[in-house]
Each structure stands twice: as C-alpha cells, then as structure tokens.
Structure 1
Amino acid sequence: MGAGWVAGVTRARAMASRRLGVHSAREVAAAATLGDAFEQLAATPYRRVLDAEAGLAAAQRSVAATLLWHLRVMAGWLPRQGAGAVRLLAAGFEVANVEEHLRVLSGAAPDRPGPYRLGGLATAWPRLAESRSPVELRDALAACAWGDPGGDSAAAVGIGVRISAATRTAGAVPEAVSWAAGRLALLVARELFIHGRRLTKPSGRRAARVLGPGVLRAATFADFRQQLPGTARWAMDGIDESADLWRAEAHWWTQVEKDGSALLRGSRLDTAPVIGAVAVLSTDAWRVRAALESAARGGALEAFDALG
C-alpha cells in the first residue's frame, strides 16, 4: 500500500473523529436561540457559522461549506482513486451550484453568497458556470459526465443532475452502492408521487439502470416499493405512504452513518475508511443543520428527535 493511502486514510480518520456527534448536536438543538447555538459551536469544526448577524439559512450554508472544505482537504491527501470517490460523494455541492446558476439564468435573484468553491472536487463546474442561458446549461451538462437532463426547466435539471450523481456513484463506488440506490429510490418516489412529475427520458433511463424499469411504470406508491431491488428497498422500510417520505430521508441518513462507522472501524488502507469518513462527516453536517433549525425555533427538540 502506497504512502498516499496511508496519509489519506490517516487524515480521513482524524477528520471523522472531530465530528460533533448525536449528543452534542442535540444540545445545540436545545438552545433557546440561534445565537446560543452559535456559542455552543464555538469550539467545534463548525465555528465558521458563528456570525451573530447571520440568519438560519446562512448558518446552515456555512455548515455545508465547512463539510465541503473538509472533503477537499481529505481528497487532497488521497491517491487518484480515493479522490475520485470523494468527488462522486460530494456531487451534491455541484448540484447546488448548478441549480443556483439556473435560477440566475432564469432571471431569479440569487439567494446564496455565490457558488460553493469546489476546487478539485468539481466534475465540470467551471465549464457549466460559463453557460449564459438555460439551453446552454443543458447543452453543457449533456457534453460532460453529468449527461443530458432531458430538459432545461428547473425541475428537469434538478432531478436530472441528482439522478446522474446517484447512478454514477452506484456504478463507481462499491462501498456506496446501497446508499446511492436508496437515495435514487427516494428521489424518484418524491418526483413521481409527491410532485406528480414523470421523469424525462434520459433521467428515466439512468434511474432504470439501477432501480429496474418496473419502478417507472408503477401506478401506486405501494407498487413502486414492490418493484424496487433489494439494494434500494431498504430505504423505504416502514414507509407505507408517499406522504411519509420525509421519514425515509431520516432513515437513509441513519443507515449511511451506521455503515460509514463500520467502514471506519476496519483496518484497511484503501477507499473503504475514506468512504466511511465521508459518510459520517456528511451525516454530522446534516444533523447540525437540523439542530440549528431547532434552535431557531426556540429549542424545538421534538422535531430534531424525530430525525432519529
């Protein structure tokens, strides 16, 4: 095993050990005000959110930016294979940039302080950012690894890039196949049964490669669940109605953290502990964002605890 893997895995494990964790996140969630929550984060890796003038949305974005910075540092210590896996798992940041860019191109005022700084974790962002219309953005996506979303509307692009990210992860990161398949099932179910929208043909083809063609023909949510392969069906455990998909989201994160922790405990010096570190760090950031929302509501622990 090369020195790059030793250094990268060591750094990944060190980063993962500094996460806030469930207990401390719950203490943040119980804070009476957002300012009190900021004070509790002062000695943590999330101290960058400590802007007394920032509102909830800005603070949550800062938490996400902190996670992105950690993933960029981690990837910088890894050999190409490891950095590529981290790039795939961090694709949500480029998705956010693409969606924000499309809003600007469509005439909406930006509601974020500029795009996330992706550095080496970008798939094609510098080229995508050069597009000057929704049609150009779609063409740029079609010409790179993201693939054609099948339309240039916000809905087509948004679900298209998310489906692309999940399917590419399922095909290239063995340790994350079930996470990607479960995430894809949630995305497609929400699109079909919450928003009532059919997938575009390109997005449908990508989803079918992982979930099977039967899910796209399902007339009911129950039929959709039945058609899912085992790699994805776990994400719907205990979910009988599409209205309860928000609980499936929380269940998905809980399982990702559990699996990631198991990967971290192993002794391997390869992609496995790196994937585990990305999983637990990402879950931690998701939980801290939820904790800040609870604090903004005056310490609404009921909502926080419902996330599992």
Structure 2
Amino acid sequence: MTRARAMASRRLGVRAAREVAAAATLDDALGQLAATPYRRVLDAEAGLASAQRSVAATLLWHLRVVAGWLPRQGAGAIRLLAAGYEISNVEEHLRVLTGTAAGRPCPYRLGGLATAWPRLADTRSPAELRAALASCAWGDPGDDSAAAVGIGMRISATTRTAGAVPEAVSWATGRLALLVARELFVHGRRLTEPSGRRAARVLGPGVLRAASFADFRQQLPGTARWAVDGIDEPADLWRAEARWWNRVEQEGSALLRGSRLDAAPVIGAVVLLSTDAWRVRAALESAARSGALEAFDALG
C-alpha cells in the first residue's frame, strides 16, 4: 500500500538515531528531534521520561492513522500490535487506584485502537478492574496485583496476536518466550493459573515446569526458541530483547517491500515505525547519560 510506505518513510532511521544518542545532553538530543516527525508532541523542556512518552505518543498517532485506512479485520491486527498502549493505561490506572501513582499523567488517546479501555478506565478498585478484564478480550489476569495484571495483559496480547496475525506469529511467540522467561527467572514470580494456561497453549506446558533457564530454553518450541538462542543467563535477556527488535525490523522491511495486496505491507509499516520509536527512546536515554553510545550500540 502506497500510503503505508509513505508513512514508514517518516522514521528517523538508525544513523540519525545514533546521532541523537551521541548528543552531549538530553536538551541537545531533544533539539535534534525538533526537526523530525517526533516534534509533533515533543516538549522541548521535557525530562527523559516525558520525552520518551512523547515519542511513544507520536507512534500511537501514526498507528491510529494507519488503522483508519484499513477495513475492520486489518484494523483489528493493528489494534493487537498496539496493545502495549492500553496495557500502559491500565497499569497507570491501577497505580492511581492503589495510591502508588507519581502524579496522574493523561492516558494515551487510543481512539479506535482501544480494546476495552473506556470501560476499564471507569473501574474504581483493583478487584473491579480485574473483573472488567476477565469479562472482555483481555481475560482474567488471575489476581489484581500490579505484577499479575501487567504480565497477564502482556501474555494475553501476545497469544492473541499469535493466533490472529499470521505475519506476526514468530514475533509474538518469541516475545512471549521473553516475557515468561523474565517473569520466571529474573523476577522469580510464578504465573497465575489463567496466564500460565494461556502461555502454555502457545509455548507448551513444559516451560512452566522448567527448573532452570537452560531447561526452559529446551522446552520452547522452535517458533519461540530463536528469541533466546545463545542466551545462557537470565541476566542477559536484555540482549535477547534487542535482538528480537532487530529481527522484527528485518521482517517488517520484507513485508513492506513485498507485492502482496493484503494487509502485509501495512503491518510491515507498523513494525518499522514501532522499531524506530523504540530506537529513538533508547537514543534519548543514551543522551541523558551524556552520549553513552556503548549502551546504544549494544542494542544493535
């Protein structure tokens, strides 16, 4: 689709992102972004967290535009790929409900990319929020704690994506493997029964019984094992996550260049825009550390 390719051309790109990462200060980095598509919602006086959120908001605006071009089924695929925004809204809402929020930032404006956000936003207690999740496409997270809701929604999003977006099966299953590995072997938390059941349907029941990270890797199906190949210790999962983004970017480029007349080029554009925003957020963090390029370059 011509419009999808035009939208994908709004990326900053690897070279320019590296220049942002090399900036001596965060203010200098923000000044460089002021002449890019990310200027739309960028506050030149923002701190790091606010600037990164602005980059994410720009991506969301792009995704809403892309989804508006598509028929209902295609827009549904974009909604799944953009699920992280509704998860972020819910996590912040839960912090407000439990009195642990630092301020009250405006939620991301999801528009047609919302799964159930308006209803979830109306809940008035963690228990009510859990019940609302259980009654919609997100499903029951198994508990109303912040940890259970966060990982439960992410597992729900990745498993639904694997089942509904053929182009994203390998990305979703690889992402699910990383999510579960981090929860089990970095945070040391067991999955709730509903979340474990969803993960096991995609990854197999053996991963939840794994006694070690090495055993976990062995239990993974081939569609997911690639995401952790070469990773020997859970502490190195951040490298696997960076590699995941790199593979997604490569496959997204292939989809965008393809000649298919279905939603594949649009999905490719969405993936490339998402990867670019991830890289720009990382570049801003490097600049905030006085141009710490070593950390940025380690992301690939």
TM-score, with structure 1 as normaliser:
0.96
Q: Separation in 2 of the partners of 1:109 and 1:18?
A: 34
- What is aligned with 1:275? 267
- What is aligned with 1:27? 19
Q: SS at 1:198's partner residue?
A: coil
- What is aligned with 1:152? 144
Q: SS at 1:28's partner residue?
A: helix
Cα shift at 1:50: 3.9
Closer/same/farther in 2, CA of residues 43 and 36 from structure 1, 3 Å limit: same
- What is aligned with 1:128? 120
- What is aligned with 2:246? 254
Q: Separation in 1 of the partners of 2:65 and 2:276?
A: 17
Range moving further from structure 2, 76-85 or 103-112: 103-112
Q: SS at 2:107's partner residue?
A: coil
Structure 1 counterpart of 2:30, one-letter code:
F
Match for 2:293 among 262, 277, 301? 301
Matched, 1:16 2:19: no
Q: SS at 1:99's partner residue?
A: helix
Match for 1:210 among 184, 198, 202? 202
Matched, 1:83 2:91: no
Match for 1:243 among 218, 235, 238? 235
Structure 1 counterpart of 2:294, one-letter code:
E
Cα shift at 1:268: 1.2
Q: SS at 1:46's partner residue?
A: helix
- What is aligned with 1:165? 157
Closer/same/farther in 2, CA of residues 112 and 225 from structure 1, 3 Å limit: farther
Q: What is the root-mean-square deviation in Å for CA atoms of aligned residues?
A: 0.9
Mapped contact 1:39–1:50 kept (Cα < 8 A): no
Moved over 4 A (4+): none
Structure 1 counterpart of 2:247, one-letter code:
Q
Matched, 1:224 2:224: no
Q: Separation in 2 of the partners of 1:237 and 1:182?
A: 11
Mapped contact 2:42–2:54 kept (Cα < 8 A): no
Q: Separation in 1 of the partners of 2:283 and 2:106?
A: 24
Q: Separation in 1 of the partners of 2:229 and 2:55?
A: 29
Residue segments in structure 2 that go unaligned for 5+ positions in a row = none
Matched, 1:183 2:179: no
Q: Could you report, residue by residue, the CA deviation over 1:138-196 in whole angstroms, capped at 9, with x for unpaired residues?
A: 00000000000000001110100000000000000000001000010000000000011
Q: Separation in 2 of the partners of 1:11 and 1:25?
A: 24
Q: Separation in 2 of the partners of 1:52 and 1:120?
A: 29
Kindly tell me the number of residue pairs found equivalent between the two proteins.
300
Structure 2 counterpart of 1:151, one-letter code:
D
Q: Separation in 2 of the partners of 1:117 and 1:64?
A: 11
Residue segments in structure 1 that go unaligned for 5+ positions in a row = 1-8
Structure 2 counterpart of 1:52, one-letter code:
A
- What is aligned with 2:191? 199
Percent identity between the aligned chains?
87
Structure 1 counterpart of 2:144, one-letter code:
D
Cα shift at 1:270: 1.1
Q: Separation in 1 of the partners of 2:116 and 2:210?
A: 34
Structure 1 counterpart of 2:250, one-letter code:
K
TM-score, with structure 2 as normaliser:
0.98
Cα shift at 1:121: 0.1
Closer/same/farther in 2, CA of residues 111 and 241 from structure 1, 3 Å limit: farther
